[in-house]
Structure 1
Amino acid sequence: MSFENPTREEIKDILQNAGNIAVVGLSDKSDRTSYMVANALQQRGYRIIPVNPAVAGQQILGETCYASLKDIPDPVDIVNVFRRSEYCADVAREAADINAKVLWLQQGIISDEAAAIAEQAGMKAIMDRCIKVEDSITRPERS
């Protein structure tokens, strides 16, 4: 059976119930897509949690950056991934280990292996979709 993303209605429900969004691969450079997307989500009321080993312990968008998902002391609803496809299976395993609810691979990122790992762990998987765009479409009232 081939992978299918959740419906727009399911995505809306996921986003309505999300609080903490771990952003794996979040750059500390404001001209990077990961930074712009995370900033927009933060402005829309979500708490973003930066995950980037290169800047662990520093602040990005006013939040402490962690080296890995397992280092985050708080529960994570969505793991939003800005990493190349070949790294996503490992991220999915870490997301499963911390009991995240959703594995979200950003636009342009597809990993059937990561999606399978997420689904086996009871997580929803979303691939090749921009969380910022989906939030704007499904939840325009947060604008």
Structure 2
Amino acid sequence: MPFENPGREEIKNILENAGNIAVVGLSDKTDRTSYMVAQALQNNGYRIIPVNPSVQGEILGEKVFSSLKDIPEPVGIVNVFRRSEYTPEVAQEAVEIGAKVLWLQLGITSEEAYKIAADGGLAVIMDRCIKVEDSILIGKR
């Protein structure tokens, strides 16, 4: 059966119950899409957790972790800004840490990552921007 994103109501429910959002591939460069999306999520009341092994310290006032496994608290959504070929490994880590949702950003898809995450009990959203979905379905908090 081919992959299909959840319907709008389910995505709205996911966002309303997001918990912590780990942003994999979050850049510390302010002109990057990942930075702008994470900042918009913060501005709308979400707690983001940066994941980037190339950055030390903080991004957007939050401690940066090298991998999902290093995060010492629960993660609801794993939001991914990595090329498709890297997403199966991220999906495996998301399963291992007990995340609820694997969200691949706009332009990112991977059948392998989908299978890993779905088999691990995660909801999967691919090729959608979390910021856009939040703006459409939730709006300003």
- Shorter-chain TM-score above 0.5: yes
Q: Percent identity?
A: 72
- How far does the alpha carbon of each residue in 1:107-133 deviate from its partner, in whole angstroms, 9 at most, with x for none? 000001101111000000000000000
TM-score normalised to structure 2 length: 0.99
Paired residue for 1:39? 39
- Spell out, residue by residue over 1:22-54, the C-alpha distance to the aligned partner (whole angstroms, 9 max, x if none): 000000000000000000000000000000000
Against the structure 1 CA distance between its residues 54 and 141, is the aligned structure 2 distance closer, same or farther, given a 3 Å change threshold? closer
Matched letter for residue 41 of structure 1: L
Aligned length in residues: 141
User: For residue 73 of structure 1, what is the aligned residue in structure 2?
Assistant: 72
Provide the secondary structure at the position in 2 that maps to 1:109. coil
Q: Does 1:30 align with 2:30?
A: yes
SS of aligned partner of 1:140: coil
| 1:139 aligned onto 2:138 | yes
Matched residue SS, 1:38: helix
Q: Which amino acid aligns with 2:3?
A: F
- Identify unmatched segments of 5+ residues in structure 2: none
Residue identity in the other structure for 2:95: A
Q: Which ranges of structure 1 fall in alignment gaps of 5 or more residues?
A: none
1:39-90 superposed Cα distances (whole Å, 9 cap, x missing partner) = 000000000000000014x100000000000000010000000000000000
- 1:126 counterpart = 2:129: no
The residue type paired with residue 3 of structure 1 is F
Conservation of the 8 A alpha-carbon contact between 2:77 and 2:99: yes
Runs of 4+ in 1 over 3 A off after TM superposition: none
1:39-118 to structure 2, matched below 5 A, reads 39-56=39-56, 58-118=57-117
Could you state the TM-score of these two structures normalised by the residue count of structure 1? 0.97
Alignment-mate amino acid for residue 11 of structure 1: I
d(CA) in 2 for partners of 1:41, 1:113: 27
Q: CA RMSD in A?
A: 0.6
